Amino acid sequence: MKSIHLSLTVSKPKTYPKGHKAKSGLNKNIFLQAIFGFKMVFASLISLVLFQPISYADTLSKQQAYLSQAFPQSIQSVQEHKVWILGDKKQAVQKILGHPYKQMRVGYWTTPNTTPGLVPFRVDFSRRVWFLQEIGKDKYIDVAITIEQGEIKQLRVLEFRESRGWEVKLPFFTEQFEQNTLAPEPTYKLTNKVDNISGATLSYRAVTKLARLALYLDSKIKPTTK
């Protein structure tokens, strides 16, 4: 009887260099991090597209509401004008703020005064509204200021973005600016004292500087004749 010999060939398991699995896991982690990063960037872009116009529209809406309150009888005739911050004005503005203003040209809103008795064809822009910005600690504070005959008639904080110092929005603070005027050069100080707020010093300084800036710029506007 013949004996049968079976020859079995057993293939050796495939071997990998030491550390191969760790490298594969590392690549996977990098891939997942890249996907996560892409999602974050995409979310940020969507946020900029969707929410920035809303914030800008909200600011415009608040400005329009303020103008309607400042010129209740003549809102339809309100006009925007510009003043350039150059030469002596630039130096004075830098002294008031402690730095140059963020724009070289600043807008103000006014309407022709049609009070009976004015000289014919004379346009007296006696009431002007200024929308100005200044940084408190890290973010801009938007302020609306109404000036008439060189005196602040009203001051309101339209946008406050800081995490602290929001008390400057309250009437007990903003009403202190009413009837305030500006001392002449070289101090450019407010003639009436405005009390500081504990815990809101940076916001207090920002709003006070804007009040002084508005009064200074307003003093440089000359009546227009036709």
- 209: alpha, beta or left, given left = phi > 0 and alpha = psi -120 to 50? alpha
**Residue type for position 225:** T
Residue 104 token pair: 């070289």
Encode burial over 45-82: b for 16+ CB neighbours within 10 A, e otherwise: eeeeeeeeeeeeeeeeebbeebbeebbeeeeeebeeee
**Residue type for position 98:** G
- 125-145: average pLDDT: 94
**Residue type for position 97:** L
> Which range, 47-51, 88-92, 220-224, has the best average confidence (pLDDT)?
88-92
- 135-146: average pLDDT: 96
Mean per-residue pLDDT of the chain: 81
Distance CA 50, CA 115 (A): 45
Q: For residue range 151-182, what is the model confidence (pLDDT) as tens digits? A: 999 999 999 999 999 999 999 999 999 999 99
Return the domain boundaries, the chain: 21-70, 77-225
pLDDT at 86 over 70: yes
Among all chains, which residue has been given the structure tokens 């130096």?
91
Distance of CA 13 to the CA centre of its chain: 67
Q: For residue range 14-67, what is the model confidence (pLDDT) as tens digits? A: 555 555 554 555 566 666 666 655 655 554 444 443 334 446 788 899 999 999
